[in-house]
Amino acid sequence: MQHHAHKVVFLDRFAIRATLRPLRFDHTWVEYPTTAPEDVIERLAGATIALTNRVRFDASVLAELPALRLIAVAATGYECIDIEACRAAGVTVCNVRDWSTPAVAEHTFAMILALRRELLEYRAAVAAGEWAQSHFYGLLRDPLPPGLAGASLAIIGYGALGRRLATLGEAFGMTVLIADHKGAAPRAGRVSFVEALARADVLCVACPKLPQTTNLVGAAELASMKPTAVVINTARGGIVDEAALAAALRDGRIAGAGVDSLSEEPPRHGNPLLDIDAPNLIVTPHMAFASDHTLAALAEQLLGNVEAFVAGTPRNVVT
Q: What is the pLDDT at residue 4?
A: 59
**What pLDDT, in 10s, does the model give residues 207-260?**
988 899 999 999 999 999 999 999 999 999 999 999 999 999 999 999 999 999
User: Looking at the predicted structure, is the pLDDT value of residue 128 above 70?
Assistant: yes
265 is catalytic: yes
CB-based burial label for 155 (10 Å; 0-12, 13-18, 19+): buried
d(CA 82, CA 130): 55
Domains and CATH numbers, the chain: 6-99+293-310 (3.40.50.720), 101-283 (3.40.50.720)
195 is catalytic: no
Overall pTM surpassing 0.75 (yes/no): yes
**What pLDDT, in 10s, does the model give residues 26-76?**
999 999 999 999 999 999 999 999 999 999 999 999 999 999 999 999 998
Exactly one of 117, 163, 181, 286 is catalytic; which is it? 286
Average pLDDT across the chain, whole number: 96
What are phi and psi for residue 171, nearest 5 degrees? -65, -30
Exactly one of 13, 69, 199, 236 is catalytic; which is it? 236
